[in-house]
Structure 1
Amino acid sequence: MASPPTDPGGPPPQSKRGGGVQVASAVIRVSNLSRSVRFYCDVFGFRVALRENDVALLVSPSGFQLYLNSIDPSRRHDRGTIGVEFLMWATDSRDELEAIEQRLRGHDPAVFTHVDNGVTFVEGCDPDRIRVVVAYPSPDHLPRRVVASALRG
């Protein structure tokens, strides 16, 4: 059987895998939709793009989409412990990190800040006690060489 033709001037097919792929959105189950919408809009500057009775689509200033989904507790089912544990955010502005820390502290007085391998982390929780981590600077400006101990669980 003949091999598929290749472009002699282009990169091999393996190098194209994932080249244009990026995380565009996330889905978070929440217990109180209105409270969670206020939290993410207040702390991270999201705007509400769509809102229905049990779901909202929020969009960040950079275009990241966050779906918040609230289901009646009697209809929830356990999906186990495998899946997204938390989202980690990043900023390239120390001033923005400090502003996020203050806004986050307005929702969670137990917010704390620490530095690991040159990266400053602000940690707190959203209204459902889901861990929120914000890093400065972003991996675009300070590539990570090791996994921070705070991200190991």
Structure 2
Amino acid sequence: MAYPHGAASSGRQPVQLPANSESAGSGSDGPGPRLASVVVFVHDHDTSADFYAELLKMEVTVRTASAALLVSRNGFQVYLRSVGPNALHPVGHVGAQYVIWTADGPEDFQRCESVLRARSDRFDTREGEGFTLIEGRDPSGLPVLVAYPGPDEVARLEIISRYYV
């Protein structure tokens, strides 16, 4: 479902946009591009690869001296690039700040929660309108978020204040 500008952040109900709206694309009936890969700069790619492989049930398919490539069963890729133990991750700067994963089901969500509780130095749970979001930290201290159910099952009618305050 498409949201008119501002509807998702205002708490109003979503409305279906007409096919000729700016959000519908430029003449294509298809859903548009989908996310295929994420590149994450980490302190140590080997430690991070082990963490993400366990949490996300991904396979490490390539390891080099400074990078690793993890691939999921559905082909999604996570590239991990070592930038050293002293590299900073400034929040509030231009660029992606968070990646939110969706658990495959309630059992998978519980598994992810267990992994994050066991392997993170910080852990938090938030409830949204019809979904739950858990947040932990990866070995580099980066936030890792997992939601259930996903936005394909429960429309997001709000923006969680943690991400824009």
Matched with 1:45 is 57
Within 5 Å, which residues of 2 pair with 1:4-153?
A: 14-16=26-28, 19-72=31-84, 81-153=93-165
Distance apart, 1:51 and its partner CA: 1.2
What do residues 110-133 of structure 1 show as CA deviations (whole Å, max 9, x unaligned)? 322221212101111111111111
Q: State TM-score, norm by structure 1.
A: 0.80
TM-aligned CA distance change 1:17 to 1:126, over 3 Å: farther
1:19 and 1:116 map into 2 onto residues whose CA distance is 26
State the aligned residue count. 142
4+ runs of 1 displaced by more than 6 Å? 76-80
Contact residue 44 and residue 82 of structure 2 kept, 8 A: yes
TM-aligned CA distance change 1:71 to 1:109, over 3 Å: closer
% same residue: 32
Contact residue 126 and residue 132 of structure 1 kept, 8 A: yes
Structure 2 counterpart SS, 1:104: helix
TM-aligned CA distance change 1:136 to 1:33, over 3 Å: same
Distance apart, 1:72 and its partner CA: 4.5
Query: Residue type of the partner of 1:81?
Result: H
Which 5+ residue runs of structure 1 have no aligned equivalent? Answer: 1-10
Structure 2 counterpart SS, 1:40: helix
Report 1 or 2 for greater relative contact order, CA contacts < 8 Å, sequence distance ≥ 6: 2
Structure with greater Cα Rg = 1
TM-aligned CA distance change 1:152 to 1:34, over 3 Å: same
Distance apart, 1:18 and its partner CA: 7.2
Distance apart, 1:39 and its partner CA: 0.6
